[in-house]
Amino acid sequence: MINFQLNDPSFSKIVDHRYDSFNQSKGRDFEEGKLQLTDLYELALHTDSIPAICGKQERLENIINQNI
């Protein structure tokens, strides 16, 4: 069951989109250990706005519940 959910294209697409910032620029650098939390703090201080990304939790819950 769980394996199916993790391999479900709908589930993977939503998760990939939600965490896309971890695969780009500063997010990737942080994941790779090239930046510290203090570096991200400084970046946030000098960033005017950060777009909110919807996690679409309800959609994920529906996909999981359909396969339980």
User: What pLDDT was estimated at residue 59?
Assistant: 75
> Which of residues 25 and 58 earns the better pLDDT score?
25
Extents of the domains making up the chain? 2-66
pLDDT reading at 1 higher than 60 = no
pLDDT at 33: 94
Greatest distance between any 2 Cα atoms in the chain = 45
Encode pLDDT of 28-67 as tens digits.
999 899 999 999 899 989 988 877 766 677 777 777 777 7
Provide the b/e sequence for 41-58 (b: ≥16 CB within 10 Å).
eeeeeeeeeeeeeeeeee
Q: How far is CA 22 from the centre of its chain?
A: 7
Please report the pLDDT score of residue 22 as a whole number: 81
- Residue 27: which pLDDT band, with cuts at 50, 70 and 90? confident
Helix ranges restricted to H, the chain: 2-7, 9-18, 25-31, 37-45, 57-66
